[in-house]
Amino acid sequence: MTEPTTPAAAPESPAAPESPAAPESPDAPESSTPSGSPRASDSPPSEGPVADGATRPAARAPGYPRQWEADVVASDGGILHLRPIDPSDADALRAFHGRLSERTRYLRYFGPYPRIPDRDLERFTTLDHRRRVAFVCVLGDEIVAVGRYEGLGPTPEDGGSAEVAFVVRDDHQGRGIGSILLEHLAAAARENGLRRFEAEVLVENHAMVRVFRDAGYQVSRAYDGGVLHLEFDIDPTERSLAVRDAREQAAEARSVHNLLHPRSVAVIGASTDPSKIGHAVLLNLLRGNFTGPVYPVNPDARSVRGVRAYASVTEIPDDVDLAVVAVPAAGIDEVMDSCLAKGVKALIVVSSGFADAGSHGLVAERRMVEAARAHGMRVVGPNALGVANTAAGVRLNATLAPALPGAGRVGFFSQSGALGIALLQAATERGLGLSTFVSAGNRADVSGNDLLQYWQSDPDTDVVLLYLETFGNPRKFGRLARRLARTTPVVAVKSGRRVPLPARSSRAVPIDDSSVQALFEQSGVIRVATVAQLFDTALLLALQPLPSGPRVAVVGNSTALGVLVADGLLDEELELVGDPVDVGAAASPATFAAAVREAVAADDVDALVAVFVPPVATHGAPYARALREAVAGSGKPVVTTFLAAEGVPAELAEPRADGRGPGPGSVPSYPSPERAVAALSRVVRYARWRATPLGEFIVPEGTRTDEARDLVARLFAEPAPDDPAPRTLVLDDDQTTAVLGCYGIEVAPFRLVGSAEEAVAAAAELGYPVALKATAPRWRHRSDLVGVRLDLTGADAVAAGYAALAAETGGDEVYVQVMAPRGMSCVLEIVDDPSFGSLLSFGLSGLATELLGDRAFRVLPVSTTDAAALIRAPRAAPLLAGYRGDPPAKLGALEDLVLRLGTLAEQLPEVRSVVLDPVVASPDGAVVTGARMVLGPPPTRDDGGGPRRLS
């Protein structure tokens, strides 16, 4: 069997994680042939290798689309570099063709085609990157796959479709490369105005039809003389996007799995000096009883810690899966050469002196990652603490931490290496067991997003903890975190909330704290402010079930402590069930247990807080055991402040089945009632989010996307001023209303007039009552309403109002607008954010609201659930629901407006800012009475729906 050679979702490796959402087809040989040559002599649409071995030579033919280059992850977790073909690839293309089997050539070209003639070689390496496009996947200096499309009409506008084909070298088939090529070819075709792919497949190639179907496209088929003609639209569909995301998750999860499950480890720079980091890493690997062989690499020593040393990694006689690099940054090039020659699969670089050391180090870091990815290798770091996996079959401690917490079911990602040791120690002290730990340092390659992909399918992880300093791809983080948090709690502490940290990573993206908060809330991430809160919350999630609601009972042996707990519950907006139960200082363990059992069994109780302070000369152990036994199997979360202990005392612990630490059913203890209640409150909010339906991502009815895109394109096509700065375009009233109208957002009818007579005529045309507004926002939005005149019901009132406004503002132009129904004034905006491209902001109008910053934000795209949450999120939102007897606004109309504006922002990335102010919300609906819009260059979006790629 051979890899599919028409555009298809290629089969994945049997070892790769599978997802029912994205089944991979079995290996299928290519059978499509681009038009233009006889089938038996047509040559493969492909590209050649790169002479320097790094796959990224600087010199390319004019018009080479460098933006299409990408590092991609195959289904087995290996890395490939994908790029457009170039005339310099001719020799490598010929070599690639020579390594194809006869069967693969036959299925690709419908004939033997043993060699590529010079004429065809030139044709397939010299393209216009518009009508004729080809990509190659390269590994090192060799091509392993090629794919192309060729437009069927003279121009994309004439044809709108292209014929597509690809082929994968026999020894790389089964790695999902075909599906990756299809995604990138389809994205390039859409960018060039094409909307449809066609292919011809030999009828004996049954797997190829499954390849198209499994890619998520609707494929039509026609049979003619032993050949199937296949056609399908390449616009993304809900199913094709689901397939793409599932394959991305499976591939990136496999990539991290390979890193955390090595069969052998080499420590490059393993020193005999106990003060050196290379010595520490080797010692930790040996102390941790890693299940595979460990190879010290030190050219100046015969052995390190009694283990035979090698002068170079290339001298190690066996395969090396993972190399830990502990040499100075200046020696990284030599290390990379030896690792690439050896075929090492992953690197952990604990050395500093890269992006953290300035621009020179940044160049070295990027060069290292490019070389690693070009040869299929992942990199953790540089400046990393390392990685660990406590699984019994691995026992990997490839970190600088001398000791790890016990085995558990919590995954932990930390950007900071220096803080990582302290974090691990804190987890140990609280009895929190870990499944895996990764400290990524500068995040030059492996990032938190990769770990989110891994933990989604890791059966050994039930809770995820994140210590974050910066984001590399916040849009992708939001998408992955939202998906993971639906099944696995994610708790994050984000530093730099008030004082930005220096960006040690070359991939750091600036993001303000309001955007971070919106990102976390929308994604279901439990945000905490401190490391202590991180572990407080993690203990509860790891050991106790999720609550089904906010109703909490309190049982203790101290009235004072019970009152503190009750106050804390109300402060956290939880519901106190009854009065706190005080069993008395002299109560026996049995009495205490009976009160606990009765409280936790009540139907109106969702969670329990138990507080216990033993009287003088009373031992607490029997009470702890009584508490644990009383709540066992209740299915409700229990937290306690027991003897002011922190973590899980032995008497409150329910041992894991393997005896390796506290397991589910253990009762976490907190030093104070306030911390116990705060942890419980965070978990209650998370459980509420998780129980809330995800909502639908819809395109509202009446949306005219093509018309809007054409309009924006025409506006940007107008001559720009001679200014080297990125162009921005402030739209006028007519242009703004035209764009909004394409998304069903109507502005209340208005006219711009320049005299009293024109104002009276406009009012008569629009119909009374009307409002008059000054043209400058500084007049219209003042709290004293000096720039507006409302409820004008006749010509005399309009003329007088016009005269007053003209005198007040010193200008002749005013707006005449139909009066909206009485209601609450709101502001809905698209806010430009350098990280996401755009955020949606909502709040009620008013000076107090603006002063207090009472705005809610949501990250795009927004679902129906997100829209409903956004308009209810501001603290002043109860005013919309009929506060103090006022008639409630029609919230559904506001939700619809949010969805329409969100769709506009997603579909028109050139729209950098929109302000709908005011939006009058009333029982009759929501009326937009003012709008402003600014266009600008589209932001760079790494996760905007395109094909899979690494940052």
Distance of alpha carbon 409 from the chain centroid: 23
For range 760-770, the mean pLDDT? 95
How far apart are the C-alpha atoms of 684 and 289, rounded to whole Å?
A: 40
User: Cβ of 943: how many Cβ atoms within 10 Å?
Assistant: 17
So where are the chain's domains? 39-250, 261-384, 405-543, 552-565+575-690, 693-748+822-951, 749-819
* DSSP of 253-286: HHHHHHHHS-S-EEEET--SSTTSHHHHHHHHHH
Name the architecture of domain 39-250.
3-Layer(aba) Sandwich (3.40)
Contact (Cβ atoms closer than 8 angstroms) between residue 257 and residue 346: no
Q: Which two tokens stand for residue 748?
A: 């209340």
pLDDT at 510: 61
Number of Cβ within a 10 Å radius of residue 274: 9
How far CA 868 is from CA of 144, 813, 855, 856, 895, in Å, comes to 49, 38, 15, 12, 6
Which one, of 72, 657, 177, lies nearest residue 392 by Cα? 657
Same fold yes or no, 261-384 and 693-748+822-951: no
207-265 pLDDT, tens digit each? 667 777 788 888 888 888 888 888 999 988 888 889 999 999 999 999 999 999 999 99
Among 501, 470, 479, CA closest to 249 = 479
Residue 330 pLDDT exceeds 80: yes
Is this prediction's pTM over 0.85?
A: yes
Element (H, E) at 519: helix 513-523
- Over range 318-325, report the average pLDDT: 97
Q: What pLDDT sits at residue 509?
A: 61
Q: Which run of H or E residues covers position 386? A: strand 386-389
% of the chain residues with pLDDT over 70: 88
Phi, psi of 556, deg, nearest 5: -165, -175
Token pair 């916040």 in the structure block, residue? 474
pLDDT band at 387; cut points 50, 70, 90: very high
Alpha helix positions (H), 110-164: 118-125, 156-159
Give the residue, 150 or 29, on which the prediction is more confident. Answer: 150
Report whether pLDDT(778) > 90. Answer: no
* Residue 426 CA from chain centroid, whole number: 28
**Residue 3 has what pLDDT?**
36
Res. 622: pLDDT tops 50:
yes
Indicate the fold that domain 693-748+822-951 takes in CATH. Answer: D-amino Acid Aminotransferase; Chain A, domain 1 (3.30.470)
Distances (CA, A) of 166 to 3, 22, 107, 149, 858: 9, 21, 11, 9, 41
Flag whether pLDDT at 558 surpasses 60: yes
Query: What is residue 498's predicted lDDT score, i.e. its pLDDT?
Result: 63
Distance (Å, whole) CA 664 – CA 130: 58
Mean pLDDT of the chain: 87
Furthest-apart CA pair in the chain: how many Å?
A: 103
- Residue-level pLDDT at 256: 97
**What are the tens digits of pLDDT across the range 446-462?**
999 999 999 999 999 99
Q: How far apart are CA 307 and CA 275, in angstroms?
A: 18
| Dist. CA 446–CA 69, nearest whole Å | 19
User: Are residues 443 and 417 in contact, defined by beta-carbon separation less than 8 angstroms?
Assistant: no
Residue 415's closest CA among 439, 387, 391? 439
For residues 797-825, give the mean pLDDT.
91
Question: Tell me: the pLDDT tens digits for 263-309?
Answer: 999 999 999 999 999 999 999 999 999 999 999 999 999 999 999 99
DSSP 8-state code for residue 6: S
What CATH code is assigned to 749-819? 3.30.1490.20
- In tens, the pLDDT along 85-110 reads 999 999 999 999 999 999 888 878 88
Q: Are 618 and 584 in contact (CB under 8 A)?
A: no
| Tokens of residue 659, six digits | 């005896």
**Pick from 408, 409, 534, 518: nearest CA to 468:** 534
Please write the tens of the pLDDT for every residue from 834-876.
666 688 999 998 876 777 888 999 988 899 999 999 999 999 9
Cα 34 to Cα 123, 179, 199, 335: the distances in Å are: 12, 18, 7, 44
pLDDT at 780: 63
Least reliable range by pLDDT among 52-61, 381-390, 399-408, 919-928? 52-61
Encode pLDDT of 176-202 as tens digits. 999 999 999 999 999 898 999 999 888
Residues 6+ apart with CB under 8 A from 673: 561, 564, 565, 568, 609, 611, 641
Q: What confidence score (pLDDT) does residue 658 get? A: 72
pLDDT classification of 500: cutoffs 50, 70, 90: low
pLDDT bracket for residue 155 (50, 70, 90): low
Taken in order 733, 736, 738, 740, the sign of the CA dihedral is negative
Q: To which CATH superfamily is domain 552-565+575-690 assigned?
A: Succinyl-CoA synthetase domains (3.40.50.261)
Q: How does residue 781 score in pLDDT terms, banded at 50, 70 and 90?
A: low
Contact 200, 30 (CB under 8 A): no
More confident of the two residues 172 and 939: 172
Output DSSP code: residue 729: E
The architecture that CATH gives domain 405-543 is 3-Layer(aba) Sandwich (3.40)
Average pLDDT over residues 782-811: 85
* Distance separating the N- and C-terminal Cα atoms of the chain: 33
More confident residue, 358 or 568: 568
* 891-907 vs 705-717: helix crossing angle, rounded to 10: 50
Take residue 210 and report the two structure tokens written for it: 């499954």
Predicted pLDDT at 134: 97
The DSSP secondary structure of 210-222, one letter per residue, reads: HHHHHTT---EEE
What percent of the chain stands above pLDDT 90? Answer: 65
At 680-738, the pLDDT tens digits run 999 999 999 999 998 999 999 999 998 999 999 898 876 655 554 557 899 999 999 99
For residue 667, is pLDDT > 80? yes
Checking if the pLDDT of 9 tops 50, the result is: no
Q: Quick one: tokens of 136?
A: 């190659």
Fold of 261-384: Rossmann fold (3.40.50)
Give the model's pLDDT for residue 386: 96
The secondary structure of 842-874, three-state, reads EEECCHHHHHHCCCEEEECCCCHHHHHHHHHCC
Helices (H), 289-358: 332-342
Element (H, E) at 104: helix 102-109
Is there a contact between 669 and 627 (Cβ–Cβ < 8 Å)?
Answer: no
- DSSP annotation of 705 reads H
Mean pLDDT, range 38-51, rounded to an integer: 34
Categorise residue 50: left if φ over 0, alpha if ψ from -120 to 50, beta otherwise: beta
Q: What angle do CA 213, 219, 222 make, to 5 degrees?
A: 125
pLDDT band per the 50, 70, 90 thresholds, residue 620:
confident
Is residue 437's pLDDT more than 90?
Answer: yes
